[in-house]
Every structure is written in C-alpha cells, then in structure tokens.
Structure 1
Amino acid sequence: MDHLKCNRLTCRKALTEKAVVVFDCANELFNASRLCPACETSLTEPDDVVVCSLHPSNDYKTSVLSGLNPAIILEICSRAMSFWQYQVQQEHSFQQAVLRNINEKNAQLQKQLENVVREGEQLRTVRDWNAS
C-alpha cells in the first residue's frame, strides 16, 4: 500500500497531502469547516482531530525529533507502524468486501445468462418444431 486512503467507504480516495488523525484536545488545530481533506465530506462526529502533513519537510522532522531519547523515537515509530498496519488491514478488508460484491454480482449475471440461453434454446426448439 503506497498511499493512505480515506476510511470512509463511499470515498476511498488516496490521501496525498494531509490526513486527519483522531487525537484528544486538538479542536483548535483543526480547520473550522471540519471537512475531510480527501473527499471534503463534513465531519460531524464530536471526535477531536489533528490534520497531519503527509510530506513534512526535513527541517520539521528534525525539529520534532531532535533531542528526544531514542526510546521515545522508537515508541513514535512503533505507533506510526501500528497506524500503517491498521490502514493496510482496513484496505485489505475493503478489497475483500469489493471482491465478495463482485463475485455475488458475477453469480447473479451468470444465472441470468444461463436463463437467457435456456430461453433461447427453448425458442429455437419451438421454432424448429413449428418449421417441421
């Protein structure tokens, strides 16, 4: 998975510049419109959120991590990896649901095709019978 995707099932657009992450006490950091940066859907839930840049500058990364104990940096990395793992699992679940829906639709269409073929064969049999 190369990109994060919006978790809203009706959206699923790739997040390219910003992501919204649930986080306590961060309302002041979120824009007043409370819109998803990917699909611009209104976010009406009372959850507090933070808008995160998906491509922070090297200066920003250095300023955030400089001076931190390596154990803290590893904890940050572990949380980030857990977040990505969750996103990959979400994408996998979504793709499985899409596949199930496609397989169900395919089975329905296959039955319809079989019915049309059977009706066509019956019509041909009746036509051949009437012709003889």
Structure 2
Amino acid sequence: MEDVLHCNRLECRKNLGSEAVVTTCSHIFCLTCANKYFTETRSCPACEASLDQPDDVVVSFLNPSADYRTSVLAGLAPGIVMEIASRSLSFWQYQCSQEAMFQRLVLKNAQERATTLEAQLRTTISEANNQLAVLQTKVNDLTQEVKGEKRVSYELREKLRSASKDYERLKVCG
C-alpha cells in the first residue's frame, strides 16, 4: 500500500496531508472532519468509541521535520520508544487492513453494478432484437401485400384494356 492515509470518515476519505487528528481507537481524520465531529461530541465518528480522556484525540504531524524526528523520542527509555514504535506499527497495520477491506468493498460493489448493467444491457439488446424481428415480419408482410396489390392492379389494367378493346370493337361494328 502506498504511504497515504485517508480520512476514516467514509463520506470524506480525503488523502491526509501534513496534519491529521488521530484517536486512541486507531482512527485518523482530516482536520475538517475532526473539527466538525470532535467539537460536538467526544466519540469516534468511525467506530463510536468513547474518547473522554484528554489524549484520546490528538493532532498529529504526519510529515515531521528532521529536527523534530531527532528530538521527539530523545530522553525516553528504550522500552517506551519500542512501545511507541509498536503502537505506531499496529496503527499502520490496522489502517492498511481497513483500506484493503474498503477497496474490496468498492470492488465488490463495482462488480455487482457491472453485472447488473450487463444484465440490463442483455435485456435491452434482446428486446431490441425482438422488436426488430417483429418489424422485419411486418415489412415482409407489407412487401407481400404490396406485391399482391400490384398483381391485382395489373390484372385490373389488363381487364380494362381488354374491355376497352371490346368496347371499341363493338362501337366500330355497331
């Protein structure tokens, strides 16, 4: 996974830049979402855990300067440094697993949507083919009807011509 964290509020999911708000329940939020949700209540918007202690919600600098990195853990006992590192790695592992789960859900939803759209497309194509077949049958029927009408028209013209000849003969003879 890339080293980019996302706001854990599902409606936001913004890439987190240099600052974010981190909770003891291993969630992280952009400053906008944190300001909105943590000023109203002290519960996590992602998991609803109670965050009543002063250090349960803290602003974290995600890209600290080299000087800060040099001094931030200085003077702490190695056990404390290892505990901090372990918790930090656990946080990242949790965030990575949550991101993977989110991406699987996005993929599943996209696949379901694609399957639904494919089925709708097949139905639309089938209906269009059926309508095309009905229209082709109508065209064939009308073509046959026109041929029949032309034949009747031809026969009537021939009868008229024959009757006209007979009439002219009768006029001349008569």
What range describes the TM-score normalised by the shorter chain of this pair?
0.7 to 0.9
Q: C-alpha separation between the residues in 2 aligned to 1:41 and 1:76? A: 26
Deviation of 1:11 (Å)? 0.9
Deviation of 1:111 (Å)? 1.1
**Equivalent pairs: percent with the same residue?**
45
Give the CA RMSD over aligned residues.
Answer: 1.9
Query: Max radius of gyration: which structure?
Result: 2
Structure 1 moving runs of 4+ over 3 Å:
38-41
Q: C-alpha separation between the residues in 1 aligned to 2:82 and 2:34? A: 34
TM-score, scaled to structure 1: 0.82
Provide the secondary structure at the position in 1 that maps to 2:59: strand
Counterparts of 1:9-48 in structure 2 under 5 Å?
A: 9-23=10-24, 36-37=30-31, 42-43=36-37, 44-46=40-42, 47=51, 48=56
- Structure 1 runs not aligned, ≥5 long: 24-34
Q: C-alpha separation between the residues in 2 aligned to 1:109 and 1:3? A: 33
Report what 1:3 is aligned to.
4
- Structure 2 runs not aligned, ≥5 long: 43-50, 141-174
Deviation of 1:100 (Å)? 1.2
Structure number with the bigger relative contact order (C-alpha 8 A, sep ≥ 6) is 1
Going by fraction, where is helix more abundant, 1 or 2?
A: 2
Tell me the number of residue pairs that the alignment of Structure 1 and Structure 2 aligns.
Answer: 121
Report what 1:32 is aligned to.
none
Residues 6 and 14 in structure 1, CA contact (< 8 A), matched pair in contact too: yes
Given the superposition, is the C-alpha separation of residues 80 and 119 from structure 1 closer, same or farther in structure 2, using an over 3 Å criterion?
Answer: same
Report what 2:93 is aligned to.
85
Deviation of 1:72 (Å)? 2.0
Deviation of 1:38 (Å)? 5.4
Provide the secondary structure at the position in 2 that maps to 1:15: coil
